[in-house]
Amino acid sequence: PGDTPRYGAGANIENHPQITDYVPRRYRVIALVMMAGLALGVGGELIARHAAALSELVGNISPGEITATLAGGLVAWTSATALLVAACYARLIHSLRRHRVDDNRGRYRVWRLAAWVAVLFSLNAVVDAHSIVARGLGHLTGWSILPGNVGWWLAPAALLGGWLLVRLIRDVAECRTALTAYLLAMACFVTAAVAFCWSPAWASQWHDTLCRLLPLGGDILLTTGTLLFARYVVLDVQGLIEHRPATEVSHSSDAAAQSESRASARTKAAPESQPAAAAAKPSQDAWVDGSQTEDPDDESGNRRLSKAERKRLRKQKTRNRAA
Protein backbone atom coordinates (compact mmCIF):
# COMPACT_ATOMS: atom_id res chain seq x y z
CA PRO A 1 0.00 0.00 0.00
CA GLY A 2 1.27 3.45 -0.90
CA ASP A 3 3.60 2.19 -3.64
CA THR A 4 1.01 2.15 -6.40
CA PRO A 5 1.33 5.32 -8.54
CA ARG A 6 -1.75 7.51 -8.66
CA TYR A 7 -0.90 9.06 -12.05
CA GLY A 8 0.27 7.67 -15.35
CA ALA A 9 3.48 8.48 -17.22
CA GLY A 10 1.74 11.29 -19.08
CA ALA A 11 1.63 13.33 -15.87
CA ASN A 12 5.43 13.39 -15.55
CA ILE A 13 7.13 16.76 -15.82
CA GLU A 14 8.83 15.95 -19.11
CA ASN A 15 5.39 15.48 -20.69
CA HIS A 16 4.06 18.84 -19.51
CA PRO A 17 3.76 21.62 -22.09
CA GLN A 18 6.54 24.16 -21.79
CA ILE A 19 5.76 27.86 -21.70
CA THR A 20 7.19 28.31 -25.19
CA ASP A 21 4.59 25.84 -26.47
CA TYR A 22 1.99 28.59 -26.03
CA VAL A 23 3.75 30.78 -28.59
CA PRO A 24 1.83 30.37 -31.86
CA ARG A 25 4.02 29.06 -34.67
CA ARG A 26 1.55 29.58 -37.51
CA TYR A 27 0.74 32.96 -38.95
CA ARG A 28 -2.92 32.15 -39.30
CA VAL A 29 -3.28 31.78 -35.53
CA ILE A 30 -1.78 35.23 -34.99
CA ALA A 31 -4.03 36.60 -37.75
CA LEU A 32 -7.08 35.10 -36.02
CA VAL A 33 -6.10 36.78 -32.73
CA MET A 34 -5.79 40.14 -34.49
CA MET A 35 -9.07 39.71 -36.36
CA ALA A 36 -10.88 38.74 -33.17
CA GLY A 37 -9.71 41.92 -31.43
CA LEU A 38 -10.68 44.08 -34.39
CA ALA A 39 -14.08 42.39 -34.60
CA LEU A 40 -14.79 43.21 -30.95
CA GLY A 41 -13.82 46.81 -31.54
CA VAL A 42 -16.03 47.08 -34.61
CA GLY A 43 -18.88 45.47 -32.67
CA GLY A 44 -18.55 48.06 -29.92
CA GLU A 45 -18.58 50.86 -32.47
CA LEU A 46 -21.69 49.43 -34.15
CA ILE A 47 -23.43 49.42 -30.78
CA ALA A 48 -22.47 53.06 -30.27
CA ARG A 49 -23.70 53.99 -33.75
CA HIS A 50 -27.08 52.31 -33.25
CA ALA A 51 -27.51 53.30 -29.61
CA ALA A 52 -30.63 55.34 -30.41
CA ALA A 53 -32.33 52.41 -32.12
CA LEU A 54 -31.41 50.09 -29.26
CA SER A 55 -32.76 52.65 -26.76
CA GLU A 56 -36.10 52.76 -28.57
CA LEU A 57 -36.17 48.96 -28.64
CA VAL A 58 -35.51 48.61 -24.90
CA GLY A 59 -37.43 51.70 -23.83
CA ASN A 60 -36.04 52.49 -20.40
CA ILE A 61 -32.30 52.90 -21.25
CA SER A 62 -30.93 56.07 -22.76
CA PRO A 63 -28.58 56.04 -25.81
CA GLY A 64 -25.82 57.57 -23.67
CA GLU A 65 -25.96 54.71 -21.19
CA ILE A 66 -25.86 52.15 -23.99
CA THR A 67 -22.85 53.86 -25.56
CA ALA A 68 -20.97 54.25 -22.28
CA THR A 69 -21.79 50.82 -20.87
CA LEU A 70 -21.87 48.47 -23.84
CA ALA A 71 -19.74 50.14 -26.50
CA GLY A 72 -17.25 51.78 -24.14
CA GLY A 73 -17.00 48.75 -21.89
CA LEU A 74 -16.48 46.36 -24.80
CA VAL A 75 -13.72 48.50 -26.29
CA ALA A 76 -12.09 49.05 -22.89
CA TRP A 77 -12.03 45.37 -21.97
CA THR A 78 -10.75 44.41 -25.42
CA SER A 79 -7.88 46.89 -25.04
CA ALA A 80 -7.15 45.65 -21.52
CA THR A 81 -7.07 42.01 -22.64
CA ALA A 82 -4.84 42.80 -25.63
CA LEU A 83 -2.37 44.69 -23.43
CA LEU A 84 -2.30 41.88 -20.86
CA VAL A 85 -1.51 39.36 -23.60
CA ALA A 86 1.24 41.66 -24.87
CA ALA A 87 2.64 41.94 -21.33
CA CYS A 88 2.78 38.14 -20.92
CA TYR A 89 4.60 37.62 -24.19
CA ALA A 90 6.92 40.55 -23.54
CA ARG A 91 7.93 38.83 -20.30
CA LEU A 92 8.50 35.60 -22.24
CA ILE A 93 10.68 37.44 -24.76
CA HIS A 94 12.70 38.93 -21.90
CA SER A 95 13.28 35.49 -20.37
CA LEU A 96 14.79 34.27 -23.66
CA ARG A 97 16.50 37.41 -24.94
CA ARG A 98 18.53 37.85 -21.76
CA HIS A 99 20.51 34.72 -22.70
CA ARG A 100 21.65 36.14 -26.04
CA VAL A 101 25.45 36.14 -26.08
CA ASP A 102 25.95 39.12 -28.40
CA ASP A 103 23.73 41.56 -26.49
CA ASN A 104 26.51 43.35 -24.65
CA ARG A 105 24.50 46.53 -24.08
CA GLY A 106 21.63 44.79 -22.29
CA ARG A 107 18.93 45.88 -24.74
CA TYR A 108 16.81 42.92 -23.62
CA ARG A 109 15.87 44.86 -20.45
CA VAL A 110 13.44 46.97 -22.45
CA TRP A 111 11.08 43.98 -22.63
CA ARG A 112 10.79 43.80 -18.86
CA LEU A 113 9.88 47.48 -18.76
CA ALA A 114 7.46 46.98 -21.64
CA ALA A 115 5.67 44.22 -19.72
CA TRP A 116 5.12 46.46 -16.68
CA VAL A 117 3.99 49.42 -18.78
CA ALA A 118 1.54 47.18 -20.66
CA VAL A 119 0.06 46.00 -17.35
CA LEU A 120 -0.28 49.62 -16.19
CA PHE A 121 -2.00 50.70 -19.41
CA SER A 122 -4.25 47.63 -19.27
CA LEU A 123 -5.44 48.59 -15.81
CA ASN A 124 -6.00 52.17 -16.90
CA ALA A 125 -8.05 51.05 -19.91
CA VAL A 126 -10.69 49.66 -17.53
CA VAL A 127 -10.43 52.11 -14.62
CA ASP A 128 -10.15 55.21 -16.87
CA ALA A 129 -7.95 56.89 -14.30
CA HIS A 130 -6.19 59.18 -16.77
CA SER A 131 -9.24 61.39 -17.33
CA ILE A 132 -9.89 61.77 -13.59
CA VAL A 133 -6.24 62.64 -12.88
CA ALA A 134 -6.22 65.13 -15.77
CA ARG A 135 -9.31 66.92 -14.51
CA GLY A 136 -7.92 67.00 -10.98
CA LEU A 137 -4.62 68.51 -12.13
CA GLY A 138 -6.46 71.04 -14.27
CA HIS A 139 -8.59 72.12 -11.33
CA LEU A 140 -5.62 72.37 -8.92
CA THR A 141 -3.31 74.26 -11.25
CA GLY A 142 -5.92 76.29 -13.11
CA TRP A 143 -4.29 75.35 -16.42
CA SER A 144 -6.28 73.61 -19.08
CA ILE A 145 -3.77 72.08 -21.47
CA LEU A 146 -5.75 71.34 -24.62
CA PRO A 147 -9.55 70.99 -24.60
CA GLY A 148 -10.90 68.93 -21.73
CA ASN A 149 -7.51 68.84 -19.95
CA VAL A 150 -6.38 66.21 -22.43
CA GLY A 151 -2.81 67.46 -22.37
CA TRP A 152 -2.29 66.47 -18.73
CA TRP A 153 -2.42 62.78 -19.57
CA LEU A 154 -1.60 62.88 -23.29
CA ALA A 155 1.87 64.44 -22.88
CA PRO A 156 3.21 61.92 -20.29
CA ALA A 157 1.68 59.00 -22.19
CA ALA A 158 3.22 60.22 -25.47
CA LEU A 159 6.67 60.69 -23.91
CA LEU A 160 6.76 57.36 -22.10
CA GLY A 161 4.98 55.33 -24.76
CA GLY A 162 6.85 56.94 -27.65
CA TRP A 163 10.27 56.35 -26.10
CA LEU A 164 9.41 52.76 -25.21
CA LEU A 165 7.93 52.04 -28.63
CA VAL A 166 11.03 53.38 -30.39
CA ARG A 167 13.22 51.11 -28.24
CA LEU A 168 11.05 48.12 -29.11
CA ILE A 169 11.13 48.96 -32.82
CA ARG A 170 14.94 49.05 -32.73
CA ASP A 171 15.04 45.64 -31.05
CA VAL A 172 12.54 43.91 -33.36
CA ALA A 173 14.04 45.36 -36.55
CA GLU A 174 15.44 41.95 -37.57
CA CYS A 175 11.89 40.51 -37.67
CA ARG A 176 10.15 42.30 -40.54
CA THR A 177 6.61 41.19 -39.70
CA ALA A 178 6.88 42.38 -36.10
CA LEU A 179 8.51 45.62 -37.28
CA THR A 180 5.59 46.25 -39.65
CA ALA A 181 3.05 45.65 -36.88
CA TYR A 182 4.85 48.03 -34.51
CA LEU A 183 5.11 50.75 -37.15
CA LEU A 184 1.38 50.46 -37.85
CA ALA A 185 0.69 50.63 -34.11
CA MET A 186 2.75 53.82 -33.86
CA ALA A 187 0.80 55.29 -36.76
CA CYS A 188 -2.47 54.49 -34.96
CA PHE A 189 -1.31 56.12 -31.72
CA VAL A 190 -0.03 59.23 -33.48
CA THR A 191 -3.30 59.62 -35.39
CA ALA A 192 -5.29 59.09 -32.19
CA ALA A 193 -3.24 61.78 -30.41
CA VAL A 194 -3.97 64.21 -33.25
CA ALA A 195 -7.67 63.30 -33.10
CA PHE A 196 -7.79 63.98 -29.35
CA CYS A 197 -6.26 67.42 -29.85
CA TRP A 198 -7.81 68.52 -33.13
CA SER A 199 -10.17 67.25 -35.79
CA PRO A 200 -11.29 68.99 -38.99
CA ALA A 201 -14.87 70.14 -39.43
CA TRP A 202 -15.68 67.48 -42.02
CA ALA A 203 -14.63 64.73 -39.59
CA SER A 204 -16.39 66.07 -36.51
CA GLN A 205 -19.01 63.30 -36.59
CA TRP A 206 -16.22 60.70 -36.63
CA HIS A 207 -14.31 62.24 -33.72
CA ASP A 208 -15.64 59.85 -31.06
CA THR A 209 -15.18 56.88 -33.37
CA LEU A 210 -11.54 57.75 -34.02
CA CYS A 211 -10.87 58.33 -30.32
CA ARG A 212 -12.27 54.90 -29.50
CA LEU A 213 -11.05 52.70 -32.35
CA LEU A 214 -7.57 54.11 -33.04
CA PRO A 215 -6.16 53.38 -29.55
CA LEU A 216 -7.80 49.94 -29.69
CA GLY A 217 -6.26 49.27 -33.09
CA GLY A 218 -2.85 50.34 -31.77
CA ASP A 219 -3.17 47.99 -28.79
CA ILE A 220 -4.15 45.07 -31.02
CA LEU A 221 -1.27 45.76 -33.39
CA LEU A 222 1.12 45.93 -30.43
CA THR A 223 -0.12 42.52 -29.30
CA THR A 224 0.24 41.16 -32.83
CA GLY A 225 3.80 42.48 -33.13
CA THR A 226 4.73 41.02 -29.75
CA LEU A 227 3.34 37.62 -30.76
CA LEU A 228 5.28 37.74 -34.02
CA PHE A 229 8.53 38.63 -32.31
CA ALA A 230 7.97 35.98 -29.62
CA ARG A 231 7.58 33.42 -32.41
CA TYR A 232 10.76 34.73 -34.05
CA VAL A 233 12.76 34.53 -30.80
CA VAL A 234 11.60 30.98 -30.02
CA LEU A 235 12.49 29.77 -33.52
CA ASP A 236 15.82 31.60 -33.31
CA VAL A 237 16.64 29.88 -30.02
CA GLN A 238 15.86 26.53 -31.63
CA GLY A 239 18.21 27.34 -34.52
CA LEU A 240 15.47 27.34 -37.16
CA ILE A 241 16.21 30.82 -38.51
CA GLU A 242 19.18 31.41 -40.77
CA HIS A 243 21.30 34.52 -40.35
CA ARG A 244 23.87 36.03 -42.63
CA PRO A 245 27.44 35.48 -41.39
CA ALA A 246 28.98 38.54 -39.85
CA THR A 247 31.71 39.87 -42.14
CA GLU A 248 34.49 42.06 -40.91
CA VAL A 249 34.78 45.14 -43.12
CA SER A 250 38.10 46.99 -42.98
CA HIS A 251 38.72 50.57 -44.04
CA SER A 252 40.10 51.17 -47.50
CA SER A 253 43.11 53.03 -46.10
CA ASP A 254 44.06 50.12 -43.87
CA ALA A 255 43.67 47.69 -46.76
CA ALA A 256 45.86 49.85 -48.99
CA ALA A 257 48.51 50.15 -46.27
CA GLN A 258 48.52 46.40 -45.75
CA SER A 259 48.85 45.74 -49.50
CA GLU A 260 51.71 48.24 -49.76
CA SER A 261 53.53 46.65 -46.82
CA ARG A 262 53.16 43.19 -48.35
CA ALA A 263 54.45 44.47 -51.71
CA SER A 264 57.46 46.12 -50.09
CA ALA A 265 58.21 42.95 -48.13
CA ARG A 266 58.17 40.89 -51.31
CA THR A 267 60.44 43.42 -53.02
CA LYS A 268 62.99 43.28 -50.21
CA ALA A 269 62.87 39.53 -50.00
CA ALA A 270 63.48 39.01 -53.73
CA PRO A 271 67.15 40.23 -53.89
CA GLU A 272 68.00 38.41 -50.67
CA SER A 273 66.63 35.14 -51.96
CA GLN A 274 68.72 35.23 -55.16
CA PRO A 275 72.18 34.70 -53.48
CA ALA A 276 70.68 31.99 -51.30
CA ALA A 277 69.31 30.22 -54.37
CA ALA A 278 72.65 30.59 -56.14
CA ALA A 279 74.45 29.14 -53.12
CA ALA A 280 72.01 26.27 -52.84
CA LYS A 281 72.38 25.38 -56.56
CA PRO A 282 75.22 22.83 -57.02
CA SER A 283 77.96 23.64 -59.51
CA GLN A 284 78.94 21.43 -62.43
CA ASP A 285 82.40 20.63 -60.91
CA ALA A 286 81.01 19.43 -57.58
CA TRP A 287 81.90 15.87 -56.57
CA VAL A 288 78.96 13.43 -56.62
CA ASP A 289 79.42 10.29 -54.55
CA GLY A 290 76.44 8.47 -56.08
CA SER A 291 74.45 8.30 -52.85
CA GLN A 292 71.88 10.78 -54.19
CA THR A 293 70.07 10.52 -57.44
CA GLU A 294 70.17 13.35 -59.89
CA ASP A 295 67.37 14.86 -61.85
CA PRO A 296 67.62 13.90 -65.54
CA ASP A 297 66.11 17.25 -66.48
CA ASP A 298 68.71 19.23 -64.52
CA GLU A 299 69.73 22.48 -66.15
CA SER A 300 73.46 21.59 -65.84
CA GLY A 301 73.11 18.77 -68.40
CA ASN A 302 74.73 16.02 -66.19
CA ARG A 303 73.50 12.53 -67.03
CA ARG A 304 72.27 10.03 -64.46
CA LEU A 305 74.96 7.61 -63.19
CA SER A 306 74.34 3.95 -63.74
CA LYS A 307 74.23 1.40 -60.97
CA ALA A 308 77.70 0.00 -61.83
CA GLU A 309 79.22 3.49 -61.81
CA ARG A 310 77.71 4.31 -58.43
CA LYS A 311 79.03 0.99 -57.07
CA ARG A 312 82.50 1.71 -58.41
CA LEU A 313 82.46 5.20 -56.89
CA ARG A 314 81.50 3.80 -53.48
CA LYS A 315 84.37 1.25 -53.62
CA GLN A 316 86.79 4.02 -54.55
CA LYS A 317 85.56 6.17 -51.65
CA THR A 318 86.00 3.25 -49.24
CA ARG A 319 89.54 2.57 -50.53
CA ASN A 320 90.47 6.25 -50.11
CA ARG A 321 89.21 6.25 -46.50
CA ALA A 322 91.27 3.12 -45.75
CA ALA A 323 94.37 4.73 -47.20
252 confidence band (pLDDT: 50, 70, 90): very low
Q: What is the pLDDT of residue 136?
A: 85
From CA 259, how far away is CA 240, in angstroms rounded?
40
Alpha carbons within 13 A on the beta-carbon side of 131: 7
The answer to whether the CB of 38 falls within 8 A of the CB of 217 is: yes
The answer to whether the CB of 45 falls within 8 A of the CB of 71 is: yes
From CA 235, how far away is CA 17, in angstroms rounded?
17
Residue 100 per-residue DSSP state: -
Could you read off the pLDDT of 171-227 as tens digits, one per residue?
Answer: 999 999 999 999 999 999 999 888 877 766 666 677 777 888 899 999 999 999 999
Q: What is the pLDDT of residue 140?
A: 83
87 confidence band (pLDDT: 50, 70, 90): very high
Least confident of 47-51, 52-56, 129-133, 273-277: 273-277
Which of the listed ranges 151-165, 189-203, 300-314 does the model predict with the highest average pLDDT? Answer: 151-165
Cα-based torsion angle of the residue sequence 66, 68, 71, 77 in order, rounded to the nearest 10 degrees:
-140
Of residues 132 and 250, more confidence is placed in 132
Backbone angles phi, psi at 239, to 5 degrees: 75, 25
Q: Considering the entire predicted model, what is its pTM?
A: 0.70
Could you read off the pLDDT of 136-156 as tens digits, one per residue?
Answer: 888 788 777 777 778 888 888
